[in-house]
Structure formats: C-alpha cells, structure tokens
C-alpha cells in the first residue's frame, strides 16, 4: 500500500515526501522533472534514511502513468504536479490549461480504473481573488485573475463533480497561503529558474549579492505600513499538513473537504525584510517601487478549520522561515 506523490521532487512535494517517509509511509513519486531535478531523489533518501520508487513520467503520458498504478498498490494520491508561475500562465495559457487540467484528468481517470478514490489536491489562496474581509475562511467567494489561478479553481470543481458522481471518492483540497522556508538540514529548498518573482527567493538573491536590491511593490496600500501583507508559512509546516490530510482521508466516508493552510498571521513586506535581517544578520537593501499589477493589499488565512478537523497548526515563526531559507540559499547558490 503506497501513497502516490505527483510532483514529489518539487519544492513542496520534496518536503512532504521526507515527512511521509520519516513517519513510516510507503511512497511512490511521479514527476516529469520539468521544474525539478533528479538529484532531489537522493536528497530525499539521504535526509529521511528511507527508500522509495521514482518514475520520471509526465501526467499527460497515460500509458506510462498507468504502469505506475499497475506496478504499485496505490491507496491515496497527493497531487502536487503542476505549473505554477502566474506571469508565465498569462503568456502561455494553453500550456497551463493542458498541463494542469489534462494532467489531472488523466490522473483521476486512472485512479478510477485502479479503484483508488482518495486524493489530496494542492490548491492556492489565489482562488479567493480579492477578499472582501480578513481573515479568509474556506467558504468565502471564489474568483481568479490569471490562468494559473483558474486551473486551480477548475480542478477544485472537477474533483467536486467527480465526488458528486460517485460518493466513494474522498477529496481534500488544501489551499496554501505563501509557502517559504526550507528543510532545516539546508539540503533542500526553493530553487527558482532565472530572476525570482516571489519575494523570499528575491530577498535571498539580494542577500547573496546576486541582485542589488529588493523592489518593494507599493507602500501606499491600506495596511499598517503601506506595504503588502501576506500569510507566510514554513514549507515544513505545510508538509506536515499533508500528513494530517492523509490521516483524515483514511477516515473519510465519501466527502469533499477544503482546508486553508496558513498561519493566520499576516506580515508586511517590510516586516519580512526586518525578520530576515534579524534572523541572518544581513542587511537587505530595498527601494520603494510601483505597485505590481494584480497584487492585493492583504491576504491571510483563518486556519481554524484545519486546526479543529485535522489537528494541524503551523508552529514555525517568520524568523525560522527566514533562517531556513537563507541556510539553503547560502549553501546552494554561491
Ligand atoms: P514545483 O514547481 O516546485 O513542483 C511541482 C512539480 O511538478 C515539479 O517538480 C514539476 O517538475 C512537476 N510537474 C509539473 N507538471 C508535471 C506533469 N505534467 N507531470 C509530472 N510532473 C509535473 O512547485 P511547488 O511550489 O512545489 O508547488 C506544488 C503545488 O502546490 C503546485 O500544484 C502549485 O501550484 C501548488 N501551490 C504552490 C504554491 C507555492 O507558493 N509554491 C502556492 C500555492 C499552491
Ligand atoms: C504569488 C502568486 C500566488 C501564489 C503565491 C505563492 C501572484 C499574483 N500570486 O502570491 O498565486 O500562490 O505567489 O507562491 O503572483 N513583493 C515585493 N517585491 C518583490 C516580490 C514581491 O514587494 O520583488 C511583494 C508583493 O507585492 C506581495 C508580497 O511581496 O505583497 C508577496 O509576493 P509574492 O511572493 O510574489 O507572493 P504573492 O503575490 O502573494
């Protein structure tokens, strides 16, 4: 009996794989390595001290994905695999819809064929669009502003419809807030291609002298210091949320459940910079720049549903997130 982890060599998937293995779960990883490297498999084995099967397979390749189901007794799937860059999704919507939506359809069709009807899906707080109120609860209205976000919303709908058609399916949708940080070993972390778009990798590049300064996108938002506020969550806390989701799905009896995975605490861009400086003793040069189109002022979770129903809370604070991110970057970027 194994958990299939799609996208398991990626940023969140690799951290989750380690926690699953350390807990004693059997896992099988499928990844086409379009945004990760094969070396990640050795790192996961090294850190966890456990072995697992890896298949370099694209979810769109039905024939080879079917082999994974034939050769293993898959009882649950954690579905991370997908393309995730918001800007790129606006330039390449066909590729994003095809990869994320068709990939998921091939996967769930095989799950049905092999009678594995338990899926945990990686969604995003981006599905809340511009929230009218804070903190954000799971039943808030949903909307999206870019093809990436729309793929998340569409997959949520697809999984809900599958459950409606066959109530043997158990679906857990996890809406992540802003994952940052890295494994405390410093061996694995986030490794974006090119110049980073997201703030934490960008700050790390500035700290490593790869970039001159951080552009703070707007200081005239309706927030305490005028800069954007987000719910940053340590990737290991996020990974542990998946273990709780697996425990839950094994007890479910034909349900769809949605959980916010965030800390519930919002921090501004300037607070993040200050925490990074304090945690690592490195000054981060920054300049105030124009607002970035599409950004919202503030976004943070009400994580109480995950606490009450999964028994999950994030425990790592912002300083730890900054320390762990930098430890990884310092070791791997220079
Ligand atoms: P990532 O890019 O590091 O990992 C995704 C993995 O999926 C990569 O290893 C990639 O090679 C693989 N992949 C992509 N398409 C595939 C396909 N067709 N077949 C097989 N493998 C494929 O991303 P991540 O940050 O680890 O995110 C994991 C999931 O969480 C994604 O679905 C993402 O949209 C979602 N998510 C991420 C964030 C974030 O900030 N990182 C926030 C919210 C939601
Ligand atoms: C982005 C994605 C979202 C995804 C999330 C987590 C967009 C519009 N949304 O969210 O779909 O789920 O990442 O990966 O891209 N900032 C700066 N300077 C920078 C970079 C960012 O000031 O160089 C600010 C932003 O304005 C924002 C905050 O930092 O206030 C966080 O930005 P970012 O890390 O890109 O995440 P989000 O935009 O929240």
Asked, as a colleague might, if the bond just before 293 is cis with ω within 30 of 0, I would say no
Ligand approaching nearest to the C-alpha of 146 = 2
User: Residue 198 Cα, ligand 2 centroid: separation in angstroms?
Assistant: 5
Percent of the chain with pLDDT over 70: 100
* Pocket flag, ligand 2, residue 189 (CB < 6 Å): no
HSE, CB side, 13 Å, CA atoms: give it for residue 70.
6
pLDDT in tens, 274-316: 999 999 999 999 999 999 998 999 999 999 999 999 999 999 9
Kindly give the residue spans of alpha helices, DSSP state H, lying in the chain.
11-23, 39-48, 62-71, 86-91, 93-96, 103-113, 147-165, 199-207, 235-251, 269-280, 304-310, 318-333
- Helix pair 235-251, 11-23: axis angle to 10 deg: 60
What are φ and ψ of residue 300, in 5° steps?
A: -150, 155
Confidence of residue 334 (pLDDT cuts 50, 70, 90): low
What residue's CA is closest to ligand 2, atom 15?
86
Ligand nearest the Cα atom of residue 9: 1
> From the candidates 148, 176, 221, 328, which is the catalytic residue?
148
Alpha carbon distance 146, 197 (integer Å): 15
Q: What is the value of pTM for the model shown?
A: 0.98
Q: Which domains does the chain have, with CATH numbers?
A: 2-180+231-261 (3.40.50.720), 199-230+264-300+311-332 (3.90.25.10)
202 lines ligand 2 (CB under 6 A): yes
86 lines ligand 2 (CB under 6 A): yes
- Has 148 been annotated as catalytic? yes
- Residue percentage of the chain with pLDDT more than 90: 97
If pLDDT is split at 50, 70 and 90, which confidence band does 8 have? very high
pLDDT, tens only, 210-260: 999 999 999 999 999 999 999 999 999 999 999 999 999 999 999 999 999
**Which structure tokens are listed for 11?**
């940023």
Is the pLDDT assigned to residue 85 strictly greater than 90? yes
Q: Are 66 and 116 in contact (CB under 8 A)?
A: no
Binding pocket residue ranges, ligand 1, CB within 6 Å: 7, 9-13, 31-36, 58-60, 80-84, 99, 103, 122, 124, 176, 179
The span from the CA of 205 to the CA of 333, in Å, is 9
CA distance 130 to 299: 8
Pairing of strands 267-268, 229-230: antiparallel
pLDDT at 192: 81
Residue with tokens 């959980």: 259
The neighbouring-strand residues paired with 234 are 180
């Amino acid at each position: 009996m194994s958990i299939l982890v799609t996208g398991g060599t990626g940023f969140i998937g690799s951290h989750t794989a380690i926690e699953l293995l350390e807990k004693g779960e059997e896992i099988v990883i499928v990844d086409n390595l379009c945004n990760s490297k094969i070396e990640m498999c050795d790192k996961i084995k090294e850190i966890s001290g456990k072995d697992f099967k890896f298949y370099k397979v694209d979810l769109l390749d039905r024939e080879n994905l079917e082999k994974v189901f034939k050769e293993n007794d898959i009882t649950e799937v954690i579905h991370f695999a997908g393309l995730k860059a918001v800007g790129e999704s606006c330039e390449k919507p066909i590729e994003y819809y095809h990869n994320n939506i068709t990939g998921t359809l091939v996967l769930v069709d095989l799950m049905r064929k092999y009678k594995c009807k338990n899926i945990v899906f990686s969604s995003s707080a981006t599905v809340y669009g511009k929230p009218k109120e804070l903190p954000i609860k799971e039943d808030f209205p949903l909307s999206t502003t870019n093809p990436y976000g729309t793929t998340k919303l569409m997959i949520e709908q697809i999984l809900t419809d599958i459950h409606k058609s066959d109530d043997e399916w158990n679906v857990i949708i996890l809406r992540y807030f802003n994952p940052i940080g890295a494994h405390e070993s410093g061996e694995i972390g986030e490794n974006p291609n090119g110049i980073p778009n997201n703030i934490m990798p960008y700050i790390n590049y500035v700290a490593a002298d790869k970039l001159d300064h951080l552009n703070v996108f707007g200081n005239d938002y309706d927030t305490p210091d005028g800069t954007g506020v987000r719910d940053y969550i340590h990737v290991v806390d996020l990974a542990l949320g998946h273990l709780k989701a697996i425990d839950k799905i094994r007890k479910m009896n034909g349900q769809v459940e949605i959980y916010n995975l965030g800390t519930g605490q919002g921090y501004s861009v300037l607070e993040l910079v200050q925490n990074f400086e304090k945690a690592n003793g490195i000054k981060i040069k920054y300049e105030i720049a124009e607002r970035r189109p599409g950004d919202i002022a503030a976004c943070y979770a009400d994580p109480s549903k995950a606490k009450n129903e999964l028994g999950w809370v994030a425990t790592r604070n912002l300083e730890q997130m900054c320390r762990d991110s930098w430890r990884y970057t310092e070791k791997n970027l220079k």
